[in-house]
Structure 1
Amino acid sequence: MGTKIVTLVLLPFFFFLHLVLATTRIPATSLATAIQGEWRLLQECIGISAMHMQLLHNNRVIMFDRTDFGNSNISLPGGRCRRDPHDVALKTDCTAHSVLYDIGTNNFRPLMVQTDTWCSSGAVLEDGTLVQTGGYNDGDHAVRKFSPCGGEDCDWVEFPNALMRRRWYATNQILPDGRIIIVGGRGQFNYEFYSQPATVSYDLEFLKETKDEGENNLYPFLHLLPDGNLFIFANTRSILFDYRQSKVVREFPQIPGDASRNYPSSGSSVLLPINENGPIEAEIMVCGGAPHGAFTSARQGYFIRASSTCGRLKVTDQNPAWEMETMPMARVMGDMLLLPTGDVIIINGASSGTAGWENARNPVTRAVIYKPRAMQHNRFSVMETAQRPRMYHSSATLLIDGRVLVGGSNPHVYYKFTGVQFPTDLSLEAFSPPYLAQLHDPVRPRIVGMAENITYQRKFSVTFSVNNFLKVASLSVRIIAPSFTTHSFSMNQRMVILKFVEAVNVASSTYRITAIGPSSPEIAPKGYYMLFVVHEDIPSTGMWVNVV
């Protein structure tokens, strides 16, 4: 069934490729890139397996693994060592378990993380500081902060007992008032807010109700909705939650099918773009996962086929109902990222088994791009094959230039490079979606000027150049919040298509587009966003702006 679907999806592209080759002199490789994207290896070895990943507003990506497995493959500088008498692997460890990657130079440097970050969570404050919470062992009550700077002295600052509860496999969401809510974790059917110091946690019975024998409600999917409430999805159920009153406002219909969607079944989820050019709607998309019992079966050596279904739920409807679709291939442990075009890329993962040590087989090395606005049976496109499988403990994030950075993959308790089916992977790759192909340069906008700050409900302008300007109706300005990605979920990810005012020609091939800042912090919490101008479904390179 999966092979037939892939073939049907690719047929229109191959027809288009044949037609263009017959009538132009454009190289076939350029056309193939414009249809299926392109993979590039950036680093063969960064020294760690990138289990967690966060893009910062100075165009560095902070990545980290865990501290309880022994040595990594990169040393700490200056003779520094991490000393922990309670560590289960090494009491003295002179290797790094976190690195900072510079996108512009393609270089990286080691960072010192002291407490165990395994299966932790994070969010970025409005000033750009990454707040990273929880983990394992001595890290399960810890908060760590990383503030971007231009020099070589930036490093983690840690607060060992800053959380009320043990947060291992929890999920974070930045809130309109600037606080961070931390929901769930192994054995934690509650939530708390990040503050200094933590003083209270609140019960959330929904998490207890959705736990099953495989604990398929870890890393619950959280999305901040335009009305200020939270959408929380765990296992197969979801609720609208008013965290201000600690109250479940409503429960949504259960997603159809027999698949669980949260860890270790590990599907993924996005909040589709919020468009301010009309009535405000909010629609959630959930894709992939594994059937009930797949985790137990995998532990016994039997790897059940993953789910191939996606569900869309427009939570702002009066009577919302799931709209189900079928992906070109089954996928568990896939990462879903919003692209500047408003499309969704689903990347990484496997087609059988679940998350967990040695629990999956049959890596899925072809990403798919989903177009939410296309006709229902023409929404998925299959991308170029990657050379490296990205299994358990891999991650991905969108970069400012529109590429997708991919790293990690270590389905073993320790680093293993030989004698196993899926060796530990310490490399970094970038996938360039089709919109980055040189073929699209004539209609690609290039931002040449704009302010660094955007104010709520205030007009602002972006000046851009474009060789072939076609029509105003194809033009938009949109902002994307960079995500904290781990375990197949990109926390805090959101896109807002800003309200369009006008576009005027100010010089030859140069235009000025005027838009209005977000309506409220519920639409877009304060902080740093990537801003893109999109023309004819082709995005500019992004610019960092601060929503204030």
Structure 2
Amino acid sequence: MLTSITLIIIPFILSYSLTHSQTLPPPLFNNQLGEWALMQPSIGISAMHMQLLHNDKVIMFDRTDFGQSNLPLSFGRCRMDPNDTALKIDCSAHSALYDVHTNTFRPLMVQTDTWCSSGSVLPNGTLIQTGGYNDGERRVRAFTPCFGEYCDWIELSDALSQRRWYATNQILPDGTLIIIGGRRQFNYEFYPKTSENSLSFVSLNFLGETSDPSENNLYPFVHLLPDGNLFIFANTRSVLFDYKQNHVVKEFPRIPGGDPRNYPSSGSSVLLPLEDDFGFVEAQVIVCGGAPRGSFESATKGNFMRALHTCGRIKVTDSNPNWVMENMPMARAMGDMLILPNGDVVIINGVGEGTAGWERGREPVLTPVIYRPKENDASLRFSVMAPASRARLYHSSAVLLRDGRVLVGGSNPHVFYNFTGVEYPTELSLEAFSPPYLSPVFDLVRPTIRFITSGVLGYRVFSYVTFTVASYESVSDVSVRILAPSFTTHSYGMNQRMVVLKLNGVTRVSREVYYATVVGPSTAEIAPPGYYMLFLVHKDVPSSGLWVQVM
């Protein structure tokens, strides 16, 4: 049954830094390079971990044993840790909350070390952040979005059964989290514990089998598939895993080339957009970049091997799936992959030589690449974008904002905060990359969402999305999508997923005003409960998004 609640959406005012004066051609985005803008010259910390919350604030943090940051804690607070090797009394922050609307930030206080940790957002919008280093390795930290000045991290002692350092989190259809792996942790556990998942942890032999001396199964790539099973990729191998029965359903072919893709090789991966037509839903995974086997040890000796330039794409729902290999325009390790509102994928940040780890990366890759998975001609799928001015190497990160920009921060390839005397200084700035679809040349076909029948998107429930667009031709040019924002760290965006909703038609209301009739996700396996950004896309150009809660 349809609800009667109406939300009015006020479009964002986008920030542009126009550096190209040439006239841009019409769609599809040919020869367009996007734009970069500096948002903050310094937020005082290095954004090693980032998560967009449903109040349009981005929570960021690095680690507590870097020493003093450039962001003082508020209200005269200090963190006291007699075991800290850098600073036993630290009155500086190692976490910040960035407000997208106002382009401002404030310090947050994290008590225990969050270095190389993981996270997921619960269905109610609370960020659950898990693990870390030393005193943080078994901690769970919670941050609930609010609009006041006093909300902050809440920490739970020893909430995890095992130390979780370099682990991966995935939200499940029932709204709980599965936390997989970590350094020398060949197992998984759930949070919160329920009667169905009460065991402290469950062994996962696959992680032990894929571990090697370089420990290239850290931060395994994990994607929830439409059948409810998990796709888990570690090193060069991947499996279809039934976490309820602790059973490997099948193993997929090894990715060609024999080179590892997980940390510290640090490729990246996304689950490509799911087309939810209330029938069989095809699922494809793509894995891009990384470093050749032996790169970590080689870089230790000062020999920086060329990064990988290949991507592997596999239809995991095929009866006999195989990897299809494609070549990126340039080699890249430590690149972040994010799904854009129109279903394209941006690959941003990283290096062309070396690998992850302290001082082990060289030749920063400043140019983002956009990959168009729906393009039939493989030679046209990749487009090289405008270069950034700042290197983003080890411990950089990126998240998609609901106005369609990509927020980029971080880069600290050193043991401590080093701003001088090093080849790549610690980076405290925030930048925003505006993909080509944000160019004013597309204003005639750019839709603007005006209303939606409810801020809650029910499973299999009809909703109406009213939008305006100046130049409309056909319903075939329109799609409505929901996108779960990622918890991004160490070149991997956990939990991000896009679902293209079933469209039951577009009706013209008046001049330039239309409404699209869409149906909520068919199952929680396709779209787990929680907050998503909803976008309407017209002729491959997305609207600004609005938050909806799937439940």
TM range (shorter): over 0.9
Instruction: Report the counterpart of residue 468 of structure 1 in structure 2.
Output: 471
Q: Which residue of 1 aligns with 2:224?
A: 224
Matches within 5 A, 1:511-522: 511-522=514-525
Distance 1:34 1:56 in 2: 33
Structure 1 counterpart SS, 2:326: strand
Match runs of 1:487-498 below 5 Å: 487-498=490-501
- Superposed displacement of residue 194, structure 1: 1.0
1:308 counterpart residue number: 309
Instruction: State the match for 2:17 in structure 1.
Output: none
Partners in 2 of 1:524 and 1:241 — Cα distance? Answer: 18
Say whether 1:538 aligns with 2:546: no
**Cross-structure match for 1:74:** 71
**For 1:34-433, what aligned pairs fall within 5 Å after superposition?**
35-195=32-192, 199-277=199-277, 279-374=280-375, 375-433=377-435
The aligned counterpart of 1:21 is: none
Aligned residue for 2:22?
A: 28
The Cα shift of 1:161 comes to 0.7
Compute the displacement of 1:30 (Å): 5.4
1:157–1:29: structure 2 CA closer, same or farther, 3 Å change rule?
farther
Structure 1 CA distance for aligned equivalents of residues 447 and 485 of structure 2: 21
Q: Letter of the aligned partner of 2:273 in structure 1?
A: P
Question: How many Å separate the matches in 1 of 2:350 and 2:302?
Answer: 18
Q: How far did 1:391 drift? A: 0.1
Which of 506, 521, 524 aligns to 1:503? It is 506
Cα deviations by residue, 1:107-146 (Å, 9 ceiling, x for unpaired): 0000000000000000000000000000001000000000
| Most deviating of 159-168 and 188-197 | 188-197
Q: How many residues align?
A: 523
What SS does the aligned partner of 2:96 have? Answer: strand
Which residue type is aligned with residue 148 of structure 1?
P
**Which residues of structure 2 form unaligned runs of 5+?**
1-19
Instruction: Work out whether residues 350 and 362 of structure 1, in 8 Å CA contact, stay in contact via their aligned partners in 2.
Output: yes
Report the CA distance between 1:524 and its aligned residue. Answer: 0.2
Q: Structure 1: how far apart are the matches of 2:460 and 2:30? A: 39
When structure 1 is superposed on structure 2, of 205-214 and 226-235 the one drifting more is: 205-214
AA partner of residue 407 (structure 2): L
AA aligned opposite 1:457: R
Give, in whole Å, the separation in 1 of the partners of 2:342 and 2:199.
42
Per-residue CA shift, 1:421-445, capped at 9, x if unaligned? 1000000000000000000010000
Q: Which residue of 2 is the match for residue 11 of structure 1?
A: none
**Counterpart of 2:103 in structure 1: which amino acid?**
N
How far, CA to CA, are the matches of 1:122 and 1:304 in structure 2?
Answer: 31
SS in 2 for 1:39: strand
In structure 2, the residue corresponding to 1:377 is in which secondary structure?
Answer: helix
Give the Cα–Cα distance (whole angstroms) in 2 for the partners of residues 139 and 250 of structure 1: 35
- Which amino acid is the alignment partner of residue 386 of structure 2? E
Who is 2:531 aligned against?
528
State the alpha-carbon separation in 1 of the partners of residues 432 and 529 from structure 2.
Answer: 29
Tell me if structure 2 keeps the 8 A contact 1:181–1:194: yes
Letter in 1 for 2:353: S
Which residue pairs with 2:6 in the alignment?
Answer: none
Distance 2:450 2:192 in 1: 40
Q: Which residues of 2 match residues 446-461 of structure 1 at below 5 A?
A: 446-450=448-452, 451-461=454-464
CA distance in 1 between partners of 2:403 and 2:302 (Å) = 42
Q: Tell me if structure 2 keeps the 8 A contact 1:271–1:284.
A: yes
1:108 is paired with a residue whose SS is strand
Kindly state the Cα deviation for residue 90 of structure 1 after the two structures are TM-superposed: 1.1
User: Would the aligned equivalents of 1:238 and 1:253 in 2 still touch at CA under 8 Å?
Assistant: yes
Deviations, residues 29-54 of structure 1 (Å, cap 9, x unaligned): 65699710000000000000000000
Report the 3-state secondary structure (helix = DSSP H, G, I; strand = E; otherwise coil) of the residue aligned with 2:32: helix
Structure 1, residues 276-331: CA drift from partner, whole Å, max 9, x if none? 13631000000001111111101111000000000001000000000000000000
Cα distance in 1 for partners of 2:304, 2:347 equals 21
Give the SS at the match of 1:79.
Answer: coil
Give the TM-score, by structure 2 length: 0.94
Cα–Cα, structure 1 residues 114 and 455, in superposed 2: closer, same or farther, change >3 Å?
A: same
Aligned-partner Cα distance in 1 for 2:510–2:235: 54
Runs of 4+ with deviation above 2 angstroms: 29-34, 196-199
Q: Relative to 1, partners in 2 of residues 1:456 and 1:75: Cα closer, same or farther, differing over 3 Å?
A: same
Relative to the length of structure 1, the TM-score reads 0.94
Aligned match of 1:478: 481
**Identical columns (%):** 64
SS at match of 2:85: coil
**Structure 1 or 2: larger helix share?**
1
Counterpart residue identity of residue 209, structure 1: E
What's the CA shift for 1:376? Answer: 1.2
* Structure 1 residue 89: Cα displacement: 1.1
**Residues in 2 aligned to 1:61 and 1:328: alpha-carbon distance in whole angstroms:** 31
d(CA) in 2 for partners of 1:84 and 1:315?
A: 47
CA distance in 2, matches of 1:455, 1:423: 47
Structure 2 vs 1, CA of residues 436 and 33 (structure 1 numbering), >3 Å: closer, same or farther?
Answer: farther
Q: Deviations over 1:475-514 (max 9, x none)?
A: 0000000110000000000000000101000111100000
Letter in 2 for 1:402: G
Whether contact under 8 Å (1:30, 1:438) holds in the other structure is: no
Matched residue type, 1:500: L
Structure 1 gaps of 5+ residues are: 1-25
What is the alpha-carbon distance in structure 2 between the residues aligned to residue 480 and residue 455 of structure 1? 15
Distance 1:411 1:355 in 2: 8
Q: CA deviation at 1:465?
A: 0.3
Q: What does the per-residue CA deviation read over 1:395-432, in whole Å, with 9 as the maximum and x for residues that have no partner?
A: 00000100000000000000111111100000000000
Between 1:121-130 and 1:368-377, the stretch displaced more is 368-377
Q: 2:444 corresponds to which residue?
A: 442
| Superposition RMSD in Å | 1.3
Distance in 1, Cα, partners of 2:287 & 2:162: 28
Amino acid at match of 2:402: I
Find the residue that maps to 1:290 and give its secondary structure.
coil
Give the 3-state SS of the residue equivalent to 2:185 in structure 1: coil
